[in-house]
Amino acid sequence: MNEVAIDKDGHREMSVPEVWRPTLVAIVDALVEEREPSLPQVVVRASAAWSGMQANVREYGARLKKLPEESWESSVCIWYGYFWDVLVDLYTEEEGRSDLVLQVHIHEDDAGYRYEVVSVYVP
Examine residue 9 and state whether it is found in any structural domain, yes or no. no
CA gap 41, 15 in Å, rounded: 21
Evaluate whether residue 6 is within a structural domain.
no
pLDDT in tens, 29-73: 999 999 988 898 998 987 678 889 999 999 999 999 999 999 999
In a domain, 99, yes or no: yes
Highest mean pLDDT among 1-5, 23-27, 107-111: 23-27
Report pTM: 0.92
d(CA 16, CA 86): 7
Does 3 fall in a domain? no
- The verdict on residue 46 lying in a domain is yes
The verdict on residue 113 lying in a domain is: yes
Range of the domain at 28: 14-121
The count of domains in the chain is 1
